Amino acid sequence: MPADETRPTTTPGGASPGGGGSHPAPAPPERLDGADGATPAPAPGPRALAARAALRDVPRVPGAPKPDPVLVADGVVRRFGGLTAVDVAHVEIQRGAITALIGPNGAGKTTFFNLLTGFDRPDEGTWTFEGRSLARVPAHRVARRGMVRTFQLTKALSRLTVIENMRLGATGQVGERLASAMFGWLWRGQEESNTRRADELLRRFKLDAKREDFAGSLSGGQRKLLEMARALMTEPRLVMLDEPMAGVNPALTQSLLEHVKDLREQGMTVMFVEHDMDMVRDISDWVVVMAQGAVVAEGPPDAVMADPAVIDAYLGGHHDAPLTEEGEEEQLAAAEAELEREHDREVGR
C-alpha cells in the first residue's frame, strides 16, 4: 500500500464501498506470539470496563437515557432554507465513555457538532453540558467550560511553530491582555508553565522532535496529532473529534487510535464522528447513528452494526429485497408519469 493511501471506508456490514478487486489477498503477517499467529489485542483499561458496565443496561433505542450523562440535547433543529439538516429530538452522552456519532454523508453529524460547540446557531433547541446550558454560547466560552473539538480539516496555524501552536491552546493567559502584555513579569511565569505542559503533551504524542518546525511542514496525520494535543492544553472534560482518521497515513492510524483510547483512561469523555466502521468497533463504547438529520439508532457497536435501521440508513430501505416484475413495472410507470408531468410543465411555459 502506498504511504499516502488512506484506509477504505466501510459500511456497517463490514464491506468496502468499492467492492472486491482483482488483486490477490496480501500474505498473512509473520507470527509474533508463537501460538496462533495473531498479536493479542491489549486488554481494556479500567475506565473502558467501567464505561461499558455503566452502559450495559441502557435501552438500545434512540434518545435512550444514560446513567450519568455529561451532555444532554433536546429538540435541536437547524434548517438551511427548506432543508432540515439537523432534527435531534433527544440525545445523551455518557460521562467517561467514548461515543461514536456515525451516519451516511449528509446525515447532519458535523452540523450537529457545530451547533453543540458554538460554531453555528440552531433554529430551535437546548442542550446542557454538566448541567449548564450551552445553547447559543459562543465557541470560545464553550471551550473555556471544558468542551473542546477538533476539525475534519485541521486548523493548525501553518506559519507558527509546533510549540507556538501549543501555547495558543492554553486558556486564561495573562499576557493576552493589552494592559499586562507590556509587563513581562506579570505573565512570564505562566508562559513557562504553559510551555512545560505543551512539551509534555508533545512528548506524549511523539511530536517533540517537531517542536521548532512550522506546523505547515507537518504531514496530515501529524497535524491531526497536533490539533488533538493542542485541544488538551485547555484540560477539557469532553473532547469532540470530527473524523480524526480522515486523510491520515495508515502508519499513524494506530497511534491516533491509542491516543483516543488514552483520553478515556485519563478520565475524559470522547465523542467522535467517523465513517470507518472498523475504527468505530475498535474504540467506541456506545454508538449514536444519524440519518437525514435525526438520531435513528443507539447502542453498543456490534448491536448497532446489525440494526436494520442502520443498514437501511447507509444502503437504503429494502436494499436487499429482490425487485419483482410487478415492482419493476410500477417503477417504470412512475418514471414515465414524472416525465409526462415535466413535459407538460415545459409546454405550459
Cell of 328: 419493476
Instruction: Fill in the amino acid letter for 218.
Output: L
Q: Can you give the pLDDT at residue 265?
A: 93
Q: Interior CA angle at 86 toward 286 and 220, to 5°?
A: 65
Q: Can you give the pLDDT at residue 322?
A: 56
Mean pLDDT, consecutive 10-residue stretches, the chain (349 aa), reads 43 48 42 41 83 95 96 96 95 97 92 95 96 92 92 85 91 71 73 90 92 91 89 92 82 83 94 89 94 94 89 64 63 74 69
89 membership: H or E segment, kind and range? strand 83-94
CA-to-CA distance for 322 and 332, rounded, in angstroms?
16
Which CATH architecture best describes the domain 41-156+234-319?
3-Layer(aba) Sandwich (3.40)
Cα 137 vs. chain centroid, distance in angstroms? 21
Return the domain boundaries, the chain: 41-156+234-319, 158-217
Q: Can you give the pLDDT at residue 209?
A: 94
Using alpha carbons, list the distances in angstroms from residue 296 to 103, 233, 308. Answer: 9, 35, 10
Residues pairing with 286 in the sheet: 99
CA-to-CA distance for 137 and 316, rounded, in angstroms?
37
Q: Can you give the pLDDT at residue 56?
A: 94
φ, ψ of residue 59 in degrees (nearest 5): -60, 145
